[in-house]
């Protein structure tokens, strides 16, 4: 999954739940106005966790594709041995 996939997820969520998206945006703006240090900390933590999530999903998808390829190779070898 690439970065545009994450953006698509957020946009589709905001389109399907507009009230919740507006409330979350207002809470973030209020947090930015009242406590900028806390907002920056929350923002950095969110970006860090999103990066870790991206790495895990990209590694998992690569591993599952490789596993499927190995299984199909093994099936071809067993079929040719029969």
So what's the pLDDT on residue 70?
65
Longest dimension (CA), the chain: 73
Residue 81 in this model has a pLDDT that exceeds 70: no
Is the whole model's pTM more than 0.75, yes or no?
A: no
**CA geometry: angle at 41 spanning 36 and 44, to 5°?**
120
Residue 14: name the closest of 5, 4, 1, 23 by CA: 23
pLDDT, tens digit, 9 for 90 and up, residues 21-73? 999 999 989 989 999 999 999 899 988 998 898 888 888 776 666 666 666 66
């Amino acid at each position: 999954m690439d970065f545009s996939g994450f953006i698509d997820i957020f946009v589709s969520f905001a389109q399907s739940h507009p009230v919740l998206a507006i409330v979350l945006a207002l809470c973030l703006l209020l947090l930015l106005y009242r406590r900028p240090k806390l907002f920056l900390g929350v923002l950095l933590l969110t970006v860090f966790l999103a990066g870790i999530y991206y790495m895990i999903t990209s590694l998992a998808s690569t591993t599952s594709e490789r596993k499927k390829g190995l299984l199909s190779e093994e099936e071809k070898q067993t079929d040719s041995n029969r």
